[in-house]
Amino acid sequence: MGRLSGRVALVTGGSRGIGASIARTLAANGAKVAVAARTSGQQPRELSTLADEIGGVAVPADVSRPADVERMVADTNLRLGPVDILINNAGVVWPLGRTVSVDADEWESAVAINLFGAVRCLRAVLPAMLTRGYGRIVNLSSGAADGAGMPSASAYSAGKAALDMVTANVAVELADTGVTINGVRPGTADTGMQEYMRSLPREQVGEEFYERFSLLHREGRLADPALAAQLVLQLICSDANGLTVDVRSEAGRALLGQPTAEGDPVTD
């Protein structure tokens, strides 16, 4: 019997990277897990392969498409039961480059995935969670949501910053309902998203961030996606509500059972 035994979880962007790590962690703790992604990557079978590996189901969906989100949630309901745990992990870092130069439609598409998609997903599962008096929602945030964000990724920074406010706002709306919402910042994690940025010209990513991310990669110091997955697990197994926690922060380290110390600057 795991800590999440009997629970149904839906992980968006669950085909690889941090989402796949979260899906594995939730399944290892007893949850029945549905994983969603567009399956538009270079390995079109990665979503179903992961679902098979963890004994879950694949529910292909583009979270920026309202009809896909409805179908994804209905499919999960039908095959596993009502969603107890939603992990809004699907995200894209593009378009990278100066705001004045990047394609305006791409800028809007990115916000449609990173922000509107997450909001659509939570609206799709919340009514049933409230009826049952239990639910856990976690939004994947980023260090780019703070301060000056990531200058050559203004759509990403803006979408994640707004998502943090959704977490904070909805948490107040959910007080005393048995449903909670929190955010997790995974650090600069070793995934396809980082690989993608390393493949671009450094001036497109921005000199400062390109150098910082490349250095972490060269020195083998990119964060293990499993850290974010553990933090997600700790939050959904608690009554915490309205927190956005960075894996590198004191609060994050405490939740992860790590010694609290000065972490790397929060910058990704």
Quick one: which of 25, 188, 234, 267 contacts ligand NAP (CB under 6 A)?
Answer: 188
**If binding is defined by CB under 6 A, does position 24 make contact with ligand NAP?**
no
Pick from 8, 193, 227, 229 the residue near ligand NAP by CB under 6 A: 193
Applying CB under 6 A, among 152, 194, 244, 267 the residue interacting with ligand NAP is 194
Among the residue ranges 79-87, 191-199, 230-238, 252-260, the one whose residues contact ligand NAP (CB under 6 A): 191-199
Q: Residues touching ligand NAP: how many (CB under 6 A)?
A: 32
Distance CA 225, CA 135 (A): 24
Contacts of range 196-199, beta carbons closer than 8 Å, 24 or more positions apart:
196/93, 196/94, 197/93, 197/96
Q: Does 249 bind ligand NAP (CB under 6 A)?
A: no
Burial label for 144, CB within 10 Å (0-12, 13-18, 19+), is buried
Q: Print the binding letters for residues 141-180 with ligand NAP: x by CB under 6 A, - otherwise.
A: -x--------------------------------------
- Give the residue ranges of DSSP H helices in the chain: 17-28, 46-53, 66-79, 104-111, 118-132, 154-173, 192-198, 202-205, 207-218, 225-236, 250-255
Backbone φ and ψ for 41, nearest 5 degrees, come out as -75, -175
Least distance between ligand NAP and beta carbon 176 (Å): 29
Identity of the residue, 31 or 223, whose beta carbon is nearer to ligand NAP in the bound complex: 223
Angstrom distance (rounded) from CA 47 to CA 42? 11
**DSSP class of 223:** B
268 binds ligand NAP (CB under 6 A): yes
For 263, residues 6+ apart whose C-beta sits below 8 A from its C-beta are 246, 248, 249, 253
Binding part of the chain for ligand NAP, among 25-33, 85-93, 120-128, 252-260 by CB under 6 A, reads: 85-93
**Residues at the interface with ligand NAP (CB under 6 A):** 12-13, 15-19, 36-41, 61-64, 89-92, 113, 140, 142, 186, 188-189, 191-194, 268
